[in-house]
Structure 1
Amino acid sequence: MHVHGPWPHSGLHQDRRPNSDRGPDRHRRRVPGRRQHPAPGRARTRIDHCCVHLGRGVARHGGRFWLLRRGGLRNRDRGHRAVGPQTAGGAFLPSQGASPRDRPTARRTSSVNNRSVAIVTDSTSDLPSQLARTRSITIVPLTLHFEGLSLLDGVDIRPSEFYRKLPNATTHPTTSQPAPGQFAEKYSELLANHDEVVSVHISEKLSGTYASAVQGAELTDAKRVHVVDSQLVSMSLGLLTLAASELAAKGASADAVVERISAMRDQVQTYFSVATLEFLRRGGRIGRASALLGSVLQVKPVLCIRDGLVTPLERVRTFDRALNRVIDLAREVDRGKGLCVVVGHADAEEDAERVARELEPVAETLMIQPLGPVVGAHAGPGVVGVGCYPADLLPLGIKTAASARARA
C-alpha cells in the first residue's frame, strides 16, 4: 500500500504470522464481526483511521511497523518507537545493525571542498584572487614593508595602489616571508577537511618562504603536508600551482601531484624584460644578471629564471625589441599542441596586452595578470614577461584577461 494513498476503513488486521509464533490462541478461529480477546500478554492489533499498516517487509531488523499520523513509525510488535534515522520525508532507514545490503547508499557528490588534497601557494604566484577561489587554491600572503607600514601582499594593498605610490616613495620597499605559524594555521584548517596538503612556493633561492612553509608543516603534520620548491616565481609559479590544482581536482593523490609538478617545473619557462635593473639590484635578487649592470642605461635586458635564480639571456637596444624577443622565446616552447601562458606586467598593461595578442594564436591557456606588490618591489615598474609551458603536459583550458584586471 502506498503510504500517501487514502486511509483505509476500520477493520481487523489479519495476522499472518506462522502458527508457532501466535501464542496459546493459535487454534482459535476469528469470526468476522465478533470481538476477539487477545492472547495473554499480547496487545490487541487493530487498524483505524489514524494509521496505515506498512507490511512486514518494511524493515528486516525491526519487525512490522505502523505509520501513525502524529507519532511517526511505531513498532507494532514491541510497542515502542522505531529506532533508526528518518529522512526529511519520514521514510524509515534501517538501524545501524542492518546489513550493508539493507542500508540505503548515500549518493556521493563531487565537491571541490571535499577533495582529498588541498593546494596552497604564496602571494608571489600573483594569481587573481577570484581564480584562486574558483580553483580552491589557498594563498598565504607575504608582507610588504612600505612607507612605515607592514602590509599583507594583495590583502592590505593592491597592485594598482602600490605602483601609483612607488614613484613618490621616500624609502625603497622591502619584503618578508610569512612566519611558520601562519603556514601552520592554514595547514591545520585545511587538514580538518582534507586528507593531505600540497604547498607550492617561490624559489628557495629567491625567498625564505619555502623554508618557512617547511617549518609550518613540521609544526602541523609533516607526513600529510608536502612542501614543494617550485624554483619559479610570479607568472610561472602561478601556472605550476594551477596545474597542481587541476591534478587534485581530478582525484590525484598528494604524492602523485608532487611527482607530476616536480617533473613539470623544469619545462615551465619564464622570460621577461625590465625597464631598469635597479630594483633587482636593490632587492638582492639579481643573481648573475649583475653582469649587465654596467650597460643598463644603454640596453634592455632579456632575463629568465634558471635553477631558481634570475639569469640574463640577451641584451637588445630597445624595450620594444626586448618584448619581441620575449614573444619569440615563448613561441619556441610550443611543441605543436599550443601553450599554457600567463603574461605578467608591473604597471605596463598596454605592453602586456600586445604580448598576449601575439601569443593568442598558439595559446591553449592565456591570462594577463599584474605583478603583485612584493614581486613589483624587487622587479620595479615597467616589467613585462611570460610564464609558459607546452600545453600537452597538462592543459588548463583558461582564457581570460578580465580576471587579471579584477585583481588590480
Structure 2
Amino acid sequence: MNKIKLITDSTSDLRRETYEQYDIEVVSLLVNFGEESFRDLVDIDLKQLYARCENKKEFPKTSSVPPQVFVDIFNKYLDQGYDIFFVGIGKELSLTYNAANMALKEINRGKIRIVDSANLSSASGLLLIRAAELREQGKNVDEIADEIERLSHHLHVYFAVENLEFLYRGGRVSAGKYFLGTMIHAHPIIKVSNGKLSVYKTPKGKMVKALDEMLNEFYRIGPDKIDLGHVMITHAFADDSAAYIKKKLMEMGIPENNIYISMAGSVIGTHCGPNTIGILFIEK
C-alpha cells in the first residue's frame, strides 16, 4: 500500500504543531487588500489582519488559489509515490474545492481523493485529525475518504460573533439581517448547515448569553451521542470566552486533553471579525 499524504487549505484552523505532528501539507488561501494579495499563515496572520483593518480602515476580501497550485502540489507527492487525500473548506463556501477538482482532472494519474467537508474552520480540521488517525490505523486512501465523507454529515458547528459587520461586508449575510442584528445589539450565533452559513439565533445582551446558547446545543444532543475524542474551540482573540467554554465542557466530564483550542486564521477571520468564537464537534 502506498504512503498517504494529507493535504488541506489554510482555513482548517489547526495549530501549527498539529499540522507538523500529522505531516499535513497546508495550501495557503489568499487575503486581498485591493491589489495586494497575502498568503494566509505565511504573509499575514490574524493579528496583522485586524491591525490593518483598524489602522488603514481597509476591508479585505478572500480568494482561493488557482488550480495550478494544486496541480503542482499533487504532482510533487505523486512523484514521491504517495496516494493523496484532500479536505478543506466546503464547496458552497469557497472555490477551493473546485480548484482542487480541476487539478485532479488535469493530472489524471495516481490515486487522489477529494472530499467536500461542507464546512469550514476547525470542522475541516477535525476531519483532518480523524483522517490522520485512520491513516495511523493502516487504512488506505479510499477507506479514509469514505469515512471522512460519512463523518462530514455528522458535524455540528456553531459560531458566536461580536456583531455581523464582517459577515455582512464579506457577503455572507444579508443587509436586512445585518441591520436587524445591529439594532437589537445581538451577538448572533452562526450555524453551518448543508454547507451554508445561516443566523441560527440572535441572543441579546452580554456575550456570555451567546456562549451559553452554543453550550445548550451541546447539552441538547448529549455527551453520550457526541464523539468526545476531539471537541474543538476556535476563536478570533476571544481568550476569555474560550476559557469559559472549556471550563463548562470540563465540568461535563470531558477530559482537558480532548478539548482542542485554536486561533482562526486570517481567511476565516476576514469573515467573522474579532471576538468570534465557535464550538465544533462530531455527533456519533
TM-score > 0.5, shorter chain as reference: yes
State how many pairs are aligned: 277
Deviation at 1:342, TM superposition (A): 1.2
Match of 2:135 in 1: 248
Largest Rg, 1 or 2: 1
Q: Percent identity?
A: 27
CA contact (8 A) 1:274 1:383 kept: yes
- Distance in 2 of aligned mates of 1:342 and 1:272: 11
Match of 2:276 in 1: 383
1:325 paired with 2:213, answer yes
TM-score, normalised with respect to structure 1: 0.64
Deviation at 1:337, TM superposition (A): 6.7
Partner SS for 1:296: helix
CA contact (8 A) 1:115 1:249 kept: no
- Distance in 1 of aligned mates of 2:90 and 2:226: 28
Match of 1:373 in 2: 266
Match of 1:347 in 2: 237
- Distance in 2 of aligned mates of 1:192 and 1:223: 9
Match of 1:133 in 2: 20
Match of 2:167 among 253, 256, 280: 280
- Distance in 1 of aligned mates of 2:68 and 2:4: 21
CA contact (8 A) 1:116 1:251 kept: no
- Distance in 2 of aligned mates of 1:376 and 1:350: 18
CA contact (8 A) 2:181 2:188 kept: no
Query: Per-residue displacement from partner, 1:337-396 (whole Å, max 9, x unpaired)?
Result: 752211111121221121122113325621111111111111111111111124xx5xxx
- Distance in 2 of aligned mates of 1:130 and 1:173: 27
CA contact (8 A) 1:206 1:285 kept: no
CA RMSD of aligned residues (A): 2.1
CA contact (8 A) 2:159 2:190 kept: yes
- Distance in 1 of aligned mates of 2:121 and 2:7: 15
Match of 2:254 among 362, 369, 380: 362
CA contact (8 A) 1:121 1:140 kept: yes
Deviation at 1:271, TM superposition (A): 0.7
Structure 2: segments with no counterpart, 5+ residues: none
Higher helix content, 1 or 2: 2
CA contact (8 A) 2:2 2:83 kept: no
Structure 1: segments with no counterpart, 5+ residues: 1-113, 394-408
- 2:201 corresponds to which letter in structure 1? E
Distance 1:300 1:229, change over 3 A: same
TM alignment of 1:157-168, pairs within 5 A: 157-168=44-55
Match of 1:152 in 2: 39
Match of 1:232 in 2: 119
CA contact (8 A) 2:234 2:262 kept: yes
- Distance in 2 of aligned mates of 1:200 and 1:145: 23
Comparing both chains, which one has the higher relative contact order based on Cα–Cα distances under 8 Å and sequence gaps of 6 or more? 2
- Distance in 2 of aligned mates of 1:293 and 1:309: 20
Deviation at 1:131, TM superposition (A): 0.9
CA contact (8 A) 1:341 1:386 kept: yes
- 1:294 corresponds to which letter in structure 2? L
Match of 1:406 in 2: none
